[in-house]
Amino acid sequence: MKPCAVLFLVAMLAASGAVVRGASMAARSECDPWALRPCAPVILWSAPPSSACCARLREQRRCLCTYARDPYLGKYINSQTSKEVAAACRVRVPMC
């Protein structure tokens, strides 16, 4: 993936406060797409998932549907690579 695409992903994650706009304040503090940044190399360059990536994916599992519906993050969450990461981390992806 081109470096500008990586910068775009990082910028989208940094600005993702709008992702949880409709959620309660409690859910906002728990649903943080920025927490998934250890998984970025896996999604972008097909690197094997690290233990940090898998741990964060487990922590954020209940938020994945929210992220999947986001127009900016959805393409990453809904990608085949993301599904492979979830399988490698043994995280069951919720049906959204």
* pLDDT tens digits for range 34-67: 999 999 898 888 889 999 999 999 999 999 999 9
Closest CA to 92 of 62, 52, 66, 49: 62
Average pLDDT, the chain: 76
Task: Say which CATH architecture domain 3-88 belongs to.
Answer: Orthogonal Bundle (1.10)
pLDDT of residue 23: 41
pLDDT over 80 at 1, yes or no: no
Beta-carbon contacts of 95 under 8 Å, excluding residues fewer than 6 positions away, are none
pLDDT of residue 21: 43
Q: Residue length, the chain?
A: 96
